[in-house]
Amino acid sequence: MTTPLNGLKVLDFSTLLPGPFASLYLADLGAEVIHVESATRPDLIRLLPPYANGQATAHSYLNRNKQSVTLDLKDKTSIELIRQKISEFDIVVEQFRPGVMKRLGLDYAVLAELNPRLIYCSITGYGQDGPYRDRAGHDINYLAVAGIAGHSGREKDGPPPLGIQVADIAGGSLHAVIGILTAVIERQQSGLGQYIDISMTDCVATLNSMAASAALAGQTPQMPEQEHLNGGTYYDYYQTKDGRYLSVGSLEPQFMQGLAQVLDLPVLLEKGASFDSDDRKQVKQAIQAKILRRTWAEWSNTFAALDICVEPVLRLDEALNSPLAQARKWIVQVPVAADLKKTEPQLACPIKFSRSQARYTFSGQSLGEGNWPESSQ
C-alpha cells in the first residue's frame, strides 16, 4: 500500500497547535513536510510538559514524520534560501499574525511569482482582514467570540472549560487541511496555486450549524440548557451514585422507550418529547434520581448490553485502553527516531482507506535534526 499524499511537499512555518496539527495530517498521509523553526526561539510546544524519551510528548506527536530545519527569518541569507527552494514545494503553511510574512519578504505575492503553482495557507485567530485582524487570542477566546461558549455549559455555572482545543483544531487545523487539499485538486485543472485565509474564529463559528440556523432563520436566541442538544432536554449527562457520569442521548422514540423501560420511568414516555420547560425539568429530575441509585460500574454493565444511546463517561486513560480503541487501532507505536527500534505510543491517524495507508516513520525530531529534500541539496 502507498500513502495517499505521496509526492506533495510542504514548507511549514507554524508553531504551537493549529498549523502543526494540520501538517501532521498531511505528513501522516504521505506529504513531505519541512518544518522551519527558529534556533533561538524554540516552539513552545517543545517545552510543554510532560516529557518522554527526552522531549515533550506533545512535540513528539504533533511533529512526527516532519523534517526539522532551523533558520533565522530575520537573516537575509535565510530568506534568500527559502526563495531559492520555494519552486520545489507545493504548499506553504504559516501561522504568524497578518503582515509578518510580508515584512519578511515571504508573503504569497512574492513566493507565487517564483512558483505560480504554490498553495499558501495562512492560519490566524481572526483572519487577514476585519476589525480583529491584529488582535491576539487563544482557543478559549475564539470560542467566546464565535458564540459557541455563549450557548454551552450550565445556566448557573457558565461556559465549560473544555479538555480539547475545538477552535484550534476543528476550526483551524481541519479547515486548513480541507482548504489545502481542495486547492490541490483545483490546481490540477488550472495549473495555478492560490492563497488560503483560514480564520479559526470564522471556521469554528460554522460549527454552530443547527444553533446558528435557529438563530438566523428561526429568530430563536440560543441559550445554555434551553435547546434539544445543549442540556435543555434529557439529552444530557447524569451523575451516578459514586460521583461519575453517564451520557444519555436516547432521543428517538425507540431509544426513549428502551430507556424508560430500563429505568422504569413512565414519565419519560409521557413527557420526554414535550417542549414545555417544566415537563423537561421533571423528566430530567426523574432520570437523575434513578441514575443516582447505582454506581457507574453497575450502570455501565447494564447499558453495555443495550442499544439505546447511553454510554458511560470514560476518563481519557480509560478511553485510550478501551476495547473500542484497541479494535479500531486508535494508538500506534511510533519509532523515537527513524533508525531506532525504540517506540513511543501515540494517537494514530484516524482516517482509514481501502487502498492507501498512513505512515509512522519517526517522532518529532530534535531541533534542527532534519534535512531539506534531497533534490534541493
Report pLDDT for 373: 85
pTM: 0.95
Report pLDDT for 377: 42
Number of C-beta neighbours around residue 66 at 10 A: 25
Instruction: Mention every residue, 6+ apart, whose C-beta is less than 8 A from residue 4.
Output: 29, 30, 353, 356
Report pLDDT for 5: 98
Report pLDDT for 117: 98
Q: What is the pLDDT of residues 290-324, one digit of tens each?
A: 999 999 999 999 999 999 999 999 999 999 999 99
Q: What is the pLDDT of residues 193-233, one digit of tens each?
A: 999 999 999 999 999 999 999 999 999 999 999 999 999 99
Which residues are part of the catalytic machinery?
138, 168
Number of C-beta neighbours around residue 175 at 10 A: 24
The answer to whether residue 241 scores a pLDDT higher than 60 is: yes
CB 318 within 8 A of CB 256: no
Separation of alpha carbons 171 and 160, rounded Å: 18
Burial (CB count within 10 angstroms: exposed 0-12, middle 13-18, buried 19+), residue 215: middle
How many angstroms separate the first and last alpha carbons of the chain?
Answer: 29
Report pLDDT for 375: 60
Residue 359, C-alpha cell as written in the block = 505512515
DSSP characters over 283-339: HHHHHHHHHTTS-HHHHHHHHHT--SSEEE---HHHHHTSHHHHHTT-EEEEESSTT
Three-class SS state of 95: coil
The answer to whether residue 376 scores a pLDDT higher than 70 is: no
Instruction: Mention every residue, 6+ apart, whose C-beta is less than 8 A from residue 33.
Output: 10, 12, 23, 26, 27, 65, 66, 67
Enumerate the H helices of 18-99 as residue ranges.
18-28, 57-62, 76-85
The answer to whether residue 29 scores a pLDDT higher than 70 is: yes
Domains plus CATH for the chain?
A: 9-207+326-376 (3.40.50.10540), 245-312 (no CATH)
